[in-house]
Every structure is written in structure tokens, then in C-alpha cells.
Amino acid sequence: MQVVYLSTAYLGPIQQYCKFCEYDEVRMETAENYLKQTYRNRCVIASAGGPLALSVPIEKTDTLKCLTKDIRISNHGHWRHLHWNALVSAYSMSPFFEYYEEDFAPFYQKKYEFLFDFNEELQQTVCRLLDLTPNIVYTNSYLPQVDHDFREIIRPKHETDDPAFRPKLYYQVFQKKYGFLPNLSIVDLLFNMGPEGLLVLRDSIVK
């Protein structure tokens, strides 16, 4: 049985969801120390102005190291409103946004305490809409050395570190303006391609 190790991600990139298709079991890391400037609390979408990063604000911790599962979401500012408006602005003209809008809107109305819970519930929603059924097991302890370890590889600008991932082209709303933008948030694929997004994921895997 092929097992892959991943870190939680906010509306994770297409590369992450390819691993859900590629491996028999996904070990989702709960016992790692939180790292900044990763997909754990940010995603990248295609807006009218080009690639746009959306970051979930987190509360500062009392110690230098804190487990990712213990990271709390900050309620400072209006990030939920800003993120939802950004998604609506970017994808209201996409083929499938209206079909999935009611699935995602509640995530930007409810206040989640922990980033990990927020991410995982979003992930479950995405998988359901894509008819993707990964076998996810949550870790109880951190193992520093494991096979098929993508906990640090799947992060912004590190796609080339993964020879098994070759982004498959698909329709994007602003493609004529910016060209094809690879490995965006999974919602870009979902809103543009709908159920066919699962085929794109499978075609992005190099065997």
C-alpha cells in the first residue's frame, strides 16, 4: 500500500489533491510545528488582476514553536468578508460557481477557532463535490523521516521538487489575459471545470 504524508492546507493547491488520487492512504500531519508562508493558511486564486494570494490570519503564539493543529484563527479584521468577496469576484463568471456557491459560503460566515479544523472541513467539502474519496488518516505523532513525504515539498514555488506532478491545462476565466496559471487553489479547478476536475487531477499525475 502506497502511503503519502501531507500537511493541512487552506483550499490547497491542485498538487495536493493529486496526491489524494495517487496514493492508497493519506497521512495528514497533526503533530508538526507550524510553518509560516506556506499553504497551511493561504491559497492562490486567479483574479481579474492576476494571481491573488488569500491568507487566513492566525493568532500569535506564546512560544516559538506551536503544533499546526493548535494554531488559532484570528478574528481581527474582516478577512472572511474579504476572502468571500475575492472568490465571488474571481469566479462569478466561471461555469460552475453558481452550482457550488452555497457549499462554500457558510465557511465564510461561521467562526472557526482552529485553522486545522477549518481547513479539513473545507477539504471534505471539496472532495465531496469532486467525488474524490481519499483514505485520510490523521497522525498522532511526528515522524521526521518517512517515505513519500510532501509535508514540505508542497509549498509556494516548489512544484519543480515533485517530478510526479505535471499540471494539466484546463479552462480558466482569465486565461486569455494571463495565460494558463498552474497549480492554483483547488477551487479554481472546481469552479472552472466542475466534476470534470477529477479527470484533470488524474491527468496531472506522472506515472
The 10s digit of each residue's pLDDT in 165-197 is: 999 999 999 999 999 999 999 999 999 999 999
- Tens-place pLDDT, residues 144-167: 999 999 999 999 877 778 999 999
| Distance of alpha carbon 19 from alpha carbon 201, whole angstroms | 9
Confidence of residue 207 (pLDDT cuts 50, 70, 90): confident
Q: C-alpha cell of 25?
A: 492512504
Identify residue 180 by its one-letter amino acid code.
F
* DSSP one-letter code for 58: B
CA distances from 50 to 9, 40, 167, 173 (A): 21, 21, 18, 11
Which amino acid is located at 87 in the chain? Answer: L
pLDDT digits (tens, 9 = 90+) for 59-111: 987 777 899 999 999 988 899 999 999 999 999 999 999 999 999 999 999 99
Question: What does the alpha-carbon distance between residue 26 and residue 54 come to, in Å, rounded to a whole number?
Answer: 25
pLDDT at 65: 85
Give 58's pLDDT tier (boundaries 50, 70, 90).
very high
pLDDT at residue 128 in the model: 98
Query: In sequence order, what are the residues at sequence separation of 6 or more whose Cβ sits closer than 8 angstroms to the Cβ of residue 109?
Result: 80
Under DSSP, is residue 100 helix (H, G, I), strand (E, B) or coil?
helix
Instruction: For residue 73, give the nearest of 85, 61, 63, 58 by alpha carbon.
Output: 58
Rounded Cα–Cα distance for residues 175 and 88 (Å): 17
